[in-house]
Amino acid sequence: ITSKDYQSCLDSFDIVFKSPGIVLDKHPSQLRCEITSETQIFFTVYREQIIGITGTKGKSTVTSLIYHILSHSGLDAHIAGNIGIPVFEIADVMTPDSIVVCELSCHQLEYMTVSPASAVFLNLYEEHLDHYGSMENYYNAKKNIYLHQNPTDTLIINSAIKPENIAPAIITVSNTDSSADIFVENGTVKG
C-alpha cells in the first residue's frame, strides 16, 4: 500500500519491516503486528559478534577507527549499519569468527529489543527533536544500545551519560570527568 494512509493497515500483517526513517503513527505496543527491522533480525542472529556504536556526534569516525584497528590486526572484521552498508549486505560473509563494527543511529535503535554484546555510547546532544519531541524520548531510543545487554556484555559510555536499568559491565570515559574509568587529559590517558 503506497497511499498516505499506509499505516492504517499495518495490523493486516503478522510482521512489518520498518525502515529507520519511518515515523510510526502508533507505538508498536499498540499494534497487533510485530514491528521489526533489518537491524533487529541481524542482531538477533549475530549479537555476540557485534560492536555497536552510537552517539549524537562522532559515530562514523569511531566506527571506522575500530574497524580499521580490527581489520589491520588480521581479524575477520566487517563494517556496517548507519555508515552506509546495510547489515544484510554482509550476512552472507559472516562466519563464527567474524566481528561486525556497526554504526547505529537513533532511528535504527528506536524499537530494538536486542543490544550488541559490546556497545559504545559516545555522547548525547539535542538533535532529532523534530522526530522525538523531547530529549527524554531521544535518549530512550539511543539507550537501546545497552538496555537489552546481558551481565557478561560490555558498555563503554561517556561518563556524562547516566545509564539506567543496565546489566553489563560498564567502562566510563571522559575528558572532563577525572572520576571516569578512562580519563583523557591533554591527550594523555590517565585511567
Q: Which position among 18, 78, 82, 148 bears the catalytic label? A: 82
What is the spatial distance between Cα 11 and Cα 33, in angstroms, rounded to a whole number? Answer: 5
Q: Which position among 128, 131, 137, 175 bears the catalytic label? A: 128
> Which three cell numbers mark 85?
552498508
| 82 annotated active-site | yes
What is the spatial distance between Cα 125 and Cα 138, in angstroms, rounded to a whole number? Answer: 9
To 5 degrees, how large is the angle CA 94–CA 16–CA 120? 45
Asked if 106 and 132 count as a contact pair (C-beta separation under 8 A), the reply is yes
CA dihedral 7, 146, 129, 88 (to 10 degrees): -50
Q: Which position among 59, 142, 143, 148 bears the catalytic label? A: 59
Catalytically active residues are 59, 82, 128
